[in-house]
């Protein structure tokens, strides 16, 4: 018998640095991240996730399945096009490609994120002295930011 519970039970893969990026932030950043990765080159679900891991140094752990509804939403909105193609593995694979509308959307998102980023950078600098001891994992990133 197939034991459904085995697979539906949510098992958190503990990330090395035990840092959880908050859910809302994950959701908000998923669109620009996916669009930006597709702006590099056409890609498919698994490879996009790999690229996210690589870029974030493993700090952004998406639940794999959740990427697909995001891709489908972008497809519906016309930001990406999808096509089925036989991959080198011999399996059919769904590839996504960014559209010109998607690029425009990406440019817009980029501006917004840069504005948020600049604001935060400003404030981090101002309050650096009063911050409590940081999680060591943050240190290199923050040092770079500063």
Partner 1 sequence: MPTPNQVVSLDNQIEQWRSYLSRRQAIHTVDIAELEDHLREQVATLVGAGLSTDEAFLVAVNRLGNLDALSREFAREHSDRLWKQLVVVPSDSVAQLARGRMDAIVAFCLAVAAAVLVKLPALFGLDLEDDAHFYARNASFFVLPLLTGYFVWKRGLDQSKVRWLAVAFAAAAVVINAYPFTEDGPTLVLAAIHLPIALWLVVGIAYAGNRWGQVAGRMDFIRFSGELFIYYVLIALGGGLLMGFMAAIFQAINIDVEPVFEQWLIAGVVGAVIVAAWLVEAKQSVIENMAPVLTRLFTPLFAILLLGFLATLLVTGRGIDIERNALIAFDGLLLVVLGLLLYSISARDPQSPRGPFDVVQVVLVVSALLANAFALWAIAERINEFGFTPNRTAALGMNVILIVNLAWSAVLYIRFLRGRAQFAPLEKWQTNYLPVYAGWAALVVIVFPPLFRFI
Task: Kindly state whether residue 138 participates in binding partner 1, applying the rule CB under 8 A.
Answer: no
Task: Kindly state whether residue 59 participates in binding partner 1, applying the rule CB under 8 A.
Answer: no
At closest approach, how far in Å is the CB of 115 from partner 1?
A: 28
DSSP strand E in the chain: where? 43-44, 80-86, 92-98
Burial class (CB in 10 A: 0-12, 13-18, 19+), 71: buried
Cβ proximity of 92 and 85 under 8 Å: yes
Which residues ranging from 84 to 103 are in contact with partner 1 (CB under 8 A)?
A: 87, 89, 91-94
- d(CA 36, CA 40) in angstroms, rounded, equals 7
From 16-24, 33-41, 60-68, 106-114, span contacting partner 1 (CB under 8 A): 60-68
Task: Kindly state whether residue 73 participates in binding partner 1, applying the rule CB under 8 A.
Answer: yes
| Rg (the chain; Cα; Å) | 18
Nearer CB in complex with partner 1: 32/45: 45
**Residues found near partner 1 in the complex (CB under 8 A):** 2, 4, 6-11, 13, 44-46, 63-66, 68-69, 72-73, 76, 87, 89, 91-94
């Amino acid at each position: 018998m197939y034991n459904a519970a085995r697979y539906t039970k949510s098992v958190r893969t503990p990330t090395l640095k035990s840092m959880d990026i908050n859910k809302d932030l994950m959701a908000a950043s998923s669109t620009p991240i996916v669009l930006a990765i597709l702006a590099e080159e056409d890609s498919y679900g698994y490879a996009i996730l790999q690229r996210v891991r690589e870029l974030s140094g493993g700090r952004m752990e998406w639940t794999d399945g959740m990427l697909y509804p995001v891709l489908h939403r972008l497809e519906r909105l016309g930001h990406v096009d999808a096509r089925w193609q036989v991959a080198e593995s011999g399996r059919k694979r769904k590839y996504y490609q960014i559209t010109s509308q998607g690029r425009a959307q990406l440019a817009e998102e980029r501006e917004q994120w840069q504005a948020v980023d600049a604001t935060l950078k400003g404030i981090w600098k101002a309050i650096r002295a009063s911050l409590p001891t940081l999680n060591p994992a943050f240190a290199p990133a923050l040092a770079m930011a500063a």
